[in-house]
Amino acid sequence: MSIELKNISYTYMPKTPFEHLALDDISITVPEGKITAIAGHTGSGKSTLIQHFNGLLKPSKGTILVDGVDIGKKNTEAKAARRKVGIVFQYPEYQLFEETISKDISFGPMNIGCSEAETLERVKQAMAFVNLDYDKYAHRSPFQLSGGQKRRAAIAGILALQPKYLVLDEPTAGLDPKGREALMEKFRRLHRERGTTIVLISHNMDNIASYADNVIILNKGKVTMEAPPEEVFSQKELISQAGLELPEVKTIMNELAQNGLEIQNNAYTMDKAVEEIIEALRRKGKC
Amino acid sequence: MLTDITLGQYFPGNSPIHNMDARVKIVLLFIYIVAVFLFDNHINYGIMTAGAIGVVLLSGLPLGMILKSIKPLWWIILFSFGIHLFSTPGEPIFKLWNFVMTKEGIIQGFIISLRLVLMIAISSLLMFTTSPLKLTDALESLMSPLKKIGFPAHELAMMMTIAMRFIPTLLEETDKIIKAQQSRGSDIGDGNFFQRAKGMIPVLVPLFISAFRRADELAIAMEARCYQGGVDRTRMKQQRLHNVDFWAGGIFGVFLISLILVQFTL
Ligand SMILES: Nc1ncnc2c1ncn2[C@@H]1O[C@H](COP(=O)(O)OP(=O)(O)OP(=O)(O)O)[C@@H](O)[C@H]1O
Ligand SMILES: [Mg+2]
């Protein structure tokens, strides 16, 4: 099962002088149970693309299948399929509106018809997940929180919907390095423990390198690559054409290889790189 | 989608109409509207309609854009047409209970509708061909004689500029918030009146908060740049009249004179 996009095109403000083709004939698959990263330059169409996953935007052309169901239809089956996909938007803290944090997180579950007991259970789970202590924060106003805490409260609002597919649009933008690391670790745990499929939009190739099973590169509304990370990162030209940079580790490994160290040069994460370098040095007989 | 609406939206272009000085455009528009309501000779309606069509063609905007701008006021036009249809005394052609439809009524209704359409079409042409910034600059400069009697022309124009600047931003923001809440399962715009009103809360609260935040940030940014309104401020873009403005004035003069001649001689 998967999210499958078939020949999706999307035009903003069609038939006006501002007409803009934001997505151009995109066909991709987001496999279930994996972490898929979408990367691309600013304005390449990433946010536009993910808004198709749960039917917020209707494609000008093409079809979207979530677990085999065409979500463009108007029946209850399509509605249920759309609800399998939860999207955390860029800067989600701007969607908070309720008097208290627990009420705000309840908004989603109540909308989809959960009972009060069920909702409370989900709120508690979601808050625990993002490290917001229920007893301490549940009855505070969301507007009294710090920026990072607001972000986590907003993410909890989506998690409480328990989506099968969780789409994250630059979830760590504007957070400090420590907060970034912690948040990403949470998503990884969610993936591992609940088997949630994750779609991660990111500019940060280092982030992508350490988390993604599958990478999709967008350039000016077109998909230029859809492959596992090691394959994507070996295509230096295509990456820089798309206005992106290789992960730092990969850059260093390339330099080493160029300067004559005989490494395999498949590694793109720190751990693997260390292994490769040690192995190469050993072969050379230096340690 | 929300951001698709074209209310008072500027369509960049390079036609003579686009290049005219905004002050000239506003003054000519004003005279034109007065003319539309003053002259009631049938030939003059023809001339004025032809003039409007000519200007639209000259602007190079698609005619559909102009028609679209009339659409929201369609009901008002129809309503006033209906009122005139039945309330003008004259030769009856149709009678329904107490209401009498007259031949004069049809003509009068048609004329009123034409006047409204011409007025809206030409006003929206001004909005379509003039950037909001130029428009407010022009309004400020046209209102500046009133500064002598203490009228805050500059401040008013500044407020208008800021308001217009933030309309698209706020629309975009509304769009984003609606989508975010829809992703949380809310059916905005469904149900009866009360359900719908309640459904707006999750949108309005974040929207107001962000509007206040933006206003605050803008105020700080302006203060940090030592902004002071009004007196002795110079402009980066001076408003100057060019050849195109004199041509426009001349042609409009001829247009006006012929209207007057037709009105009083025929
Ligand atoms: N509401 C809109 N109306 C018109 N054009 C839009 C709208 N939203 C986005 N666009 C245009 O569509 C293109 C893709 O935008 P999108 O937001 O999907 O980019 P992105 O890849 O998410 O960029 P970023 O990394 O900056 O978030 C851009 O060129 C943008 O100008
Ligand atoms: Mg984006």
The total number of structural domains that make up chain A = 2
pLDDT of residue B190: 65
With a 6 A CB cut-off, is A204 part of the ligand 1 pocket? Answer: no
pLDDT of residue B147: 83
Same domain (yes/no): A150, A283: no
Same domain (yes/no): A112, A201: yes
Same domain (yes/no): B20, B76: yes
Instruction: Say if residue A123's pLDDT is above 70.
Output: yes
On chain B, the residues whose CB falls within 8 A of the CB of A83 are 185
Instruction: Say if residue B6's pLDDT is above 50.
Output: no
Instruction: Say if residue B4's pLDDT is above 80.
Output: no
With a 6 A CB cut-off, is A210 part of the ligand 1 pocket? Answer: no
pLDDT of residue A21: 94
Residue A225 forms beta bridges with which residues? A217
Same domain (yes/no): A208, A277: no
Q: Is residue B137 part of a domain?
A: no
pLDDT of residue B153: 84
Q: Ligand 1: distance of its center to the CA of A19 in Å? A: 12
* A51 and chain B in contact, CB less than 8 A: yes
Same domain (yes/no): B15, B112: yes
Same domain (yes/no): A217, A266: no
Q: Residues A231-241: what's their mean pLDDT?
A: 88
Q: Is residue B141 part of a domain?
A: no
Q: Is residue A108 part of a domain?
A: yes
- For the ranges A92-101, B78-87, B199-208, the lowest mean pLDDT is seen at B78-87
pLDDT of residue A228: 92
Give the whole-angstrom CA distance, residue B95 versus residue B93: 7
Q: Is residue B255 part of a domain?
A: yes
Tens of pLDDT, residues B14-27: 999 999 999 999 99
Q: Which of A180, A201, A229 is the last residue of a domain?
A: A229
Give the position, in ligand 1's atom list, of the atom nearest the Cα of A44. Answer: 21
Same domain (yes/no): B195, B116: no
Same domain (yes/no): A66, A184: yes
Same domain (yes/no): B53, B118: yes
Q: Is residue A19 part of a domain?
A: yes
* A128 and chain B in contact, CB less than 8 A: no
Instruction: Say if residue A107's pLDDT is above 90.
Output: yes
Tens of pLDDT, residues B222-238: 999 988 876 677 777 77
pLDDT of residue A214: 93
**Contact flag A17-B201 (C-beta cutoff 8 Å):** no
Same domain (yes/no): B21, B126: yes
Same domain (yes/no): B28, B94: yes
Give the whole-angstrom CA distance, residue A57 versus residue A54: 8
Same domain (yes/no): A284, A208: no
Ligand at minimal distance from the CA of A39 is 1
Instruction: Say if residue A139's pLDDT is above 80.
Output: yes
Q: Is residue B3 part of a domain?
A: no
- For the ranges A114-123, A138-147, B111-120, B230-239, the lowest mean pLDDT is seen at B230-239
Same domain (yes/no): A201, A253: no
Q: Is residue B115 part of a domain?
A: yes
* Tokens of residue A18, six digits: 């501002």
B76 in Cβ contact with B116 (< 8 Å) = yes
Which is higher by pLDDT, B159 or B193? Answer: B159
pLDDT of residue A248: 85
Q: Which of A179, A196, A229 is the last residue of a domain?
A: A229
The total number of structural domains that make up chain B = 2
Same domain (yes/no): A69, A203: yes
Same domain (yes/no): B48, B97: yes
**Contact flag B205-A97 (C-beta cutoff 8 Å):** yes
Amino acid (1-letter code) at residue B13: G
Of A16, A87, A94, the CB nearest to B183: A87
Q: What domain range is B199 assigned to?
A: 149-224
Tens of pLDDT, residues B23-59: 999 999 999 999 998 988 889 999 999 999 999 999 9
**Contact flag A161-B184 (C-beta cutoff 8 Å):** yes
**Contact flag B183-A112 (C-beta cutoff 8 Å):** no
Q: What domain range is A267 assigned to?
A: 247-287
pLDDT of residue B1: 47
Give the whole-angstrom CA distance, residue A55 versus residue A69: 12
Same domain (yes/no): B44, B157: no
In chain B, whose CA is at the least distance from the CA of A93?
B206
Q: Is residue A284 part of a domain?
A: yes
> Residue A94's CB: how many other CB atoms inside 10 A?
19
Same domain (yes/no): A62, A197: yes
Q: Is residue B135 part of a domain?
A: no
Same domain (yes/no): B165, B102: no
Same domain (yes/no): A111, A251: no
**ipTM, two decimals:** 0.86
Ligand at minimal distance from the CA of A45 is 1
The strand pair at B99-102 and B92-96 is best described as: antiparallel
Pinpoint the alpha helices (H) of B39-73: 42-59, 63-70
Which is higher by pLDDT, B20 or B163? Answer: B20
Q: Is residue A18 part of a domain?
A: yes
Q: Residues A142-166: what's their mean pLDDT?
A: 92
Same domain (yes/no): B41, B165: no
Same domain (yes/no): B218, B260: no
Q: Residues B86-114: what's their mean pLDDT?
A: 82
Pinpoint the alpha helices (H) of chain B: 16-19, 22-38, 42-59, 63-70, 74-87, 103-129, 132-143, 153-183, 193-224, 243-265
pLDDT of residue B230: 64
* Tokens of residue A180, six digits: 């970034």
Q: Is residue B138 part of a domain?
A: no
**CATH number of the domain residue A118 falls in:** 3.40.50.300
In this prediction, residue B7 has a pLDDT band, given cuts at 50, 70 and 90, of: very low
Same domain (yes/no): B13, B125: yes
Task: Note the maximum CA span of chain A.
Answer: 68
Give the best residue of B129, B176, B179, B184 to mutate against chain A (max A CB count within 10 A): B184
Same domain (yes/no): A185, A251: no
Give the position, in ligand 1's atom list, of the atom nearest the Cα of B3. Answer: 1
In this prediction, residue B253 has a pLDDT band, given cuts at 50, 70 and 90, of: very high
Give the whole-angstrom CA distance, residue B249 versus residue B28: 8
Same domain (yes/no): A251, A193: no
Q: Residues A20-28: what's their mean pLDDT?
A: 94
Q: Is residue A239 part of a domain?
A: no
Q: Is residue A237 part of a domain?
A: no
pLDDT of residue B62: 85
